[in-house]
Amino acid sequence: METNPCNNHVNGGSSIPSKVSRKTKPDDTIVSIKGVGIGRSEIVIIAGPCAVESRDQLFRTARSVRAAGANILRGGAFKPRSSPYSFQGMGEEGLKLLDQVRKETGLPIVTEVMDTRQMEMVASYADMIQIGSRNMQNYPLLKEAGMCSKPVLLKRGMMATIDEFLLAAEYILNHGNDQIILCERGIRTFETSTRNTLDLSAVPVLKRMSHLPVIVDPSHGTGVRWLVPSMAKAAVAVGADGLIMEVHFNPEEALCDGYQSLSPDEFDLLMADLKKIAQAVGREILVSKAAAF
Ligand code: PEP
Ligand code: MN
């Protein structure tokens, strides 16, 4: 078996055709989400609550992340929770709130789809659909995303190798959708001081192997609020094309992932630091037109 991750069957000498590989397409793919391009020199910031909880929670958080310079709003309406007794999301009501907040803030929306039966409905509201870590190897869902007209944010499975991650993206590409963003969000290891182990080496490895843009989720990648800024800065330093981060106007009261959510003030401070790190590596944080008014 191949052990060198830069020489495996996605990019290596095997006969498996690979649309995801940089060998097939040397130029970077730019994914456009309602005019916000990911994969260019400008780094894209996606921020918002883990879950849409209420109109007030969503609007307050969305206004604060827009004011701090976020380019895209995140928010789950269908939540993949470990416990069936935890808040499962607002469903279509949550999607309607996302639609309303998009109209007010001008921010494009990314939200998760968990089931093939929800694809049409979620895609009709979302500007980009998210396939979560737990569904990275849900092949019917990947195929459905491949037939969808919206860009796809594909998160790395918590137990997936980089090879398996790229082959999941290959399913989407193979079904006709080349608008895919890869997201490193941490993997399971023996370490318990963090929720997951954020594999930052995945960023340069993925970018070497594939033409698709790569972003990092330091919120799920660490599971610890105070660690998010350090790992977000590190992600920019190692070449991430964007970040996705959880922000809640009152993290202590969050119905989902509050312990890893930044407050608006913490997010604002981090944005200022990220600009400096981006400059140090010859890049910039994207300034959205929506943030200017
Ligand atoms: C999320 O982004 O809300 C989420 C559930 O993340 P993951 O799929 O990476 O656990
Ligand atoms: Mn979350």
- 33 within a domain of the structure (yes/no): no
Residue 106, pLDDT score = 97
Does 293 have pLDDT greater than 60?
no
* Ligand that comes closest to the CA of residue 130: 1
Region 268-281: what's the mean pLDDT?
98
Query: How many angstroms does the Cα of residue 213 sit away from the middle of ligand 1?
Result: 18
Query: Is 5 a member of any domain?
Result: no
Residue nearest to atom 3 of ligand 1 (CA): 50
Q: Tell me which of 220, 228, 243, 256 to substitute to probe ligand 1's pocket, judged by most ligand atoms within 8 Å of the beta carbon.
A: 220
CATH code assigned at 97 = 3.20.20.70
281 located within any domain: yes
What local confidence, expressed as pLDDT, does residue 4 receive?
47
Tokens of 138: 């849900």
Domain that holds residue 139: 45-80+87-292
Does residue 12 register a pLDDT over 90?
no
As a whole number of angstroms, the distance between CA 259 and CA 256 comes to 9
Tell me the pLDDT band of 8, cut-offs 50, 70 and 90: low
Average pLDDT of the chain?
94
Residue nearest to atom 9 of ligand 1 (CA): 133
The pLDDT assigned to 289 comes to 75
Q: Which of 87, 112, 248, 260 to mutate to test the pocket of ligand 1 (most atoms within 8 A of CB)?
A: 112
Is 151 part of any domain?
Answer: yes
CA distance 160 to 135: 11
**Side chain identity at residue 285, one-letter code:** I
| pLDDT of 6 | 45
CA of 52 to the centre of ligand 1 (A): 13
pLDDT in tens, 98-154: 999 999 999 999 999 999 999 999 999 999 999 999 999 999 999 999 999 999 999
The residues near 99 (Cβ < 8 Å, ≥ 6 apart) are 109, 125
Please list every protein residue whose CB sits less than 6 Å from any atom of ligand 1: 50, 76, 80, 132-134, 155, 185, 217, 220
Q: How close is the Cα of 132 to the center of ligand 2, in Å?
A: 10
Reported as a single tens digit per residue, the pLDDT across 29-88 is 999 999 999 999 999 999 999 999 999 999 999 999 999 999 999 999 999 999 999 999
Residue 19 maps to a domain: no
| Cα distances (angstroms) measured from residue 237 to each of 172, 209, 221, 240, 280 | 29, 19, 16, 7, 8
Flag the least confident range among 11-15, 160-164, 218-222: 11-15
For residue 20, is it within any domain?
no
What is the chain's Cα-based Rg?
18
Phi/psi at 153 (5° precision): -100, 110
Closest CA to 230 of 16, 70, 145, 238: 238
Residue 24 lies in a domain: no
Total domains in the chain come to 1
Residue with the two structure tokens 């790229």: 166
Model confidence at 16: pLDDT above 70: no
**Ion ligand 2: residue ranges with CB closer than 5 A:** 50, 257
Ligand 2 centroid to Cα of residue 256, in Å, is 6
Written as six digits, the tokens of 259 are: 């312990």
* Residue that has been written with the tokens 């007030």 in this structure: 56
Segment 187-204, tens digit of pLDDT: 999 999 999 999 999 999
Band of residue 2 on the pLDDT scale cut at 50, 70, 90: very low
Task: Give me ligand 1 centre to Cα 286, in Å.
Answer: 23
Q: Which of the four pLDDT bands, split at 50, 70 and 90, describes residue 11?
A: low
Percent of the chain, pLDDT > 90?
Answer: 92
pLDDT at 24 over 60: yes
